[in-house]
Structures are given as C-alpha cells and as structure tokens.
C-alpha cells in the first residue's frame, strides 16, 4: 500500500524529500561531531608552549647537577673538602638560574590555569588541570632541592673548617638531592604526556 502511495507521489517531490533527508542527516552528523571536538583556547596553547621550553631548561640544569653531585661525592670521600665546597658553590649559581626559570614557569602556569575554564570538554579540562598540577609539583621539588643544596654546602663547610659534622651526612644529602632531581625529570615527563593527550583530543 505504501509502495502504491509513493508511486503516486510526483518524482520531483520524492527527489526533494530524499535530498532533504540526506541534508538533515549530514547536518545532525556535523552538529554531533562538532560537539565532540575539543576546543583549546589560544592563551592556553601559547602558555603551554612557553612553559614547556622553560621546564626543559630546568630539566637540563638538574641533569647537570646530577653529574656534578657525583664529582662532589667523590671529592668528599677522598677528603678533598675544599674542592667539594667550591663545586657546591658552583651548584648554588646553577640553583639561582633554576629559580629564575621557576619564576618564568610560574607565570606560564598561572596563564594556563586561568584559561582551563575555556576548554570546551570536561575530560579535556581535567587533563589540562592534571598537566598544570604536575608542573606545580615540580616547582615544589625545586624548592626542596634548593633547601637540600644549602644543607650540603653547610655540611661541607663544617668538614672544611674541621667542625663536627652535622646530620644528615654529605652522602645522605647527595642521595636526597639526586632523588629530587629524578622527581623533577619524572614530573616534567608526566606533564608532557598529559599535554600530548590533550592535543590528541583536539585533533
């Protein structure tokens, strides 16, 4: 019966109906796919790019610190406290450079945090916040790294001047600083991983 009814419908009307149906399906697909696409604000992307460069510099400097600490530990074990003391003093200069980068990173993280609310999808916003959180934690590790470095300098100064050593020992402090350096590297790697996940969602 339906077939007979359609046969009586003018061909032009049937064609128009088919085109209307195809257009409607195409529109609904466009709306659906558009709604699924993650929109990341330009401010977030630009701050992320600058922040990633700064974080890489921090990681590079912390890697140089790890190599220097091996030499400091060797000199300490050999009783060459004056030489070890000088190397730690050099490390403090590197530490000041890292603090400068940390200040730059802090500004970029502030911009990223402010822009997170403009990300169009809930899971993507959570990913962005997790990425920022990793770098905030990294900055906390930098603070403790600097504190342990100051303690290391003091411990070597006491040895150099023949004063009774304080706790923790030089070896323990070097081990702790190395742990902080490893944590800094790991946190930056996790930050980059979350950013990569966010960028894939926006493709």
Q: What is the pLDDT of residues 159-173, one digit of tens each?
A: 777 776 666 788 888
Structure tokens at 37: 């696409």
Taking the C-alpha atoms of residue 76 and residue 83, their distance in angstroms, rounded to an integer, is 9
pLDDT over 60 at 30, yes or no: no
Taking the C-alpha atoms of residue 196 and residue 72, their distance in angstroms, rounded to an integer, is 37
Taking the C-alpha atoms of residue 44 and residue 115, their distance in angstroms, rounded to an integer, is 6
Architecture in CATH of 41-201: Up-down Bundle (1.20)
Whole-number Cα distances in Å, 174 to 97, 108, 145, 183:
20, 31, 10, 14
Q: Tens of pLDDT along 53-110? A: 998 998 898 888 888 888 888 888 888 888 888 888 888 888 888 889 988 988 998 8
- Every domain of the chain and the residues it spans: 2-34, 41-201
Taking the C-alpha atoms of residue 112 and residue 129, their distance in angstroms, rounded to an integer, is 9
Lowest-confidence region among 28-42, 101-115, 146-160: 28-42
Q: Tens of pLDDT along 32-41? A: 444 456 778 8
What is the greatest pairwise CA distance in the chain?
110
């Amino acid at each position: 019966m339906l077939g007979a009814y359609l046969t009586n419908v003018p061909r032009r009307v049937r064609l128009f109906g088919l085109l209307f149906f195809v257009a409607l399906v195409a529109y609904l697909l466009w709306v659906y796919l558009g709604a699924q696409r993650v929109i990341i604000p330009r401010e977030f992307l630009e701050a992320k790019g600058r922040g990633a460069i700064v974080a890489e510099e921090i990681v590079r400097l912390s890697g140089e610190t790890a190599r220097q600490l091996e030499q400091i530990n060797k000199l300490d074990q050999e009783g060459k406290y004056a030489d070890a003391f000088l190397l730690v003093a050099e490390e403090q200069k590197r530490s000041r450079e890292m603090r400068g980068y940390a200040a730059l990173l802090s500004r970029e993280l502030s911009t990223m945090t402010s822009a997170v609310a403009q990300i169009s999808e809930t899971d993507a916003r959570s990913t962005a916040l997790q990425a920022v959180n990793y770098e905030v934690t990294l900055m906390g590790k930098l603070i403790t790294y600097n504190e342990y470095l100051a303690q290391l300098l003091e411990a070597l100064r006491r040895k150099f001047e023949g004063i009774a050593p304080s706790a923790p020992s030089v070896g323990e402090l070097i081990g702790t600083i190395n742990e902080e350096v490893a944590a800094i590297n790991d946190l930056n790697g996790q930050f980059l991983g979350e950013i990569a996940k966010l960028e894939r969602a926006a493709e």
